[in-house]
Amino acid sequence: MTNEQSASARQAPVTVVGLGPMGLALAGALRGRGHRTTVWNRTPGKADRLVATGVRRAATVAEAVSASPVTIMCLKDYETMYEVFGSAGDALRGRVLVNLNSGTPKEAHAAAGWAAERGVSYLDGAIMVPPPMVGHPGSVFLYSGSREVFDEHRPTLASMGDPRYLGSDPGLAVLYNTALLEMMYATINGYLHATAMAGSAGVPAVEFAELAIGWFLPAVLGPMLAEEAPVLDKGEYPGDLGTLEMNLNALDHIARTAQEQGVQTDQPRLMREIAARAIADGHGGKNYLAVFEVFKHQAR
């Protein structure tokens, strides 16, 4: 491949469907790296800031898919994918869909079959970083499914982060995703519960974090939790980059994946229950750290 061909591949047209916080970050990163980017969202106004930077807003899903060889979707779940793309009709045939929704391996297999019936090349995937990290070279994105599709479109995928191919089984990306997210949630829950225990003796979260994070927490979560320690003392949990409601969706996928795979489900079910309790207490629009409010008090 010549340098000119390589540059052309890196800047291939791409469509993004779904403009929540993560979808906005994906489209912004792709546009920032020179891709002619088209977007569609059920609430069109979410694209306003992107349009101001040169991103094209499609009026329909069919128009969005037709604008690019590759469509990257970042929707709530697989059911939403079927609802959204059901109206695209023949516009899907011969295109590539890259699914960055969350769900379970069983759902990923069903989605791959759905795509094949419509003549669509399909990759399932998972994003392992928060929205502000999208576009950074070291930000890990997981993919599984067709190796040929992955290799052909790797330059586009690399514009969003570090693409890791896991294998031809389309369920592997979401399986890895749920397994790794369970580690993350369990670690955060342990830290927040420990902080609540120390706080019961009047120890501020900031003071406890100095020892707890340096002693135990890994490099990935440690800096983030250290930065957020003052938030715990203030009891302020802004949900701009992701709400507890969104996290409950991921926790539900973890619990269902454990059940599908035939492994013990008590831990993921408990984590889901804790998040649901925080939402019931009025924290659904806040970020995940709001479960700290649950840990600070005995169950009533």
SS3 205: helix
Instruction: Show Cβ contacts of residue 64 under 8 Å, excluding neighbours closer than 6 positions.
Output: 15, 17, 38, 39, 40, 58, 71
Distance from C-alpha of 99 to C-alpha of 85, rounded to nearest angstrom: 12
The predicted structure's pLDDT at residue 218: 66
The predicted structure's pLDDT at residue 221: 77
Q: Domains plus CATH for the chain? A: 3-170 (3.40.50.720), 175-295 (1.10.1040.10)
Split the chain (300 residues) into runs of 10 and give each run's mean pLDDT. 45 95 97 96 95 96 97 95 93 96 94 96 95 93 97 96 98 96 92 93 93 76 85 92 92 93 93 96 95 85
The predicted structure's pLDDT at residue 95: 97
The predicted structure's pLDDT at residue 299: 63
Length of the chain equals 300
The predicted structure's pLDDT at residue 300: 58
The predicted structure's pLDDT at residue 7: 47
Contact 52, 24 (CB under 8 A): no
Closest-CA residue to 22 (of 186, 122, 105, 132): 132
The predicted structure's pLDDT at residue 220: 67
Contact 78, 111 (CB under 8 A): yes
The predicted structure's pLDDT at residue 219: 67
Contact 213, 144 (CB under 8 A): no
Q: Are strands 56-57 and 121-127 parallel, antiparallel or unpaired?
A: unpaired
Q: DSSP string covering 2-17, please?
A: -HHHHHHHHT--EEEE
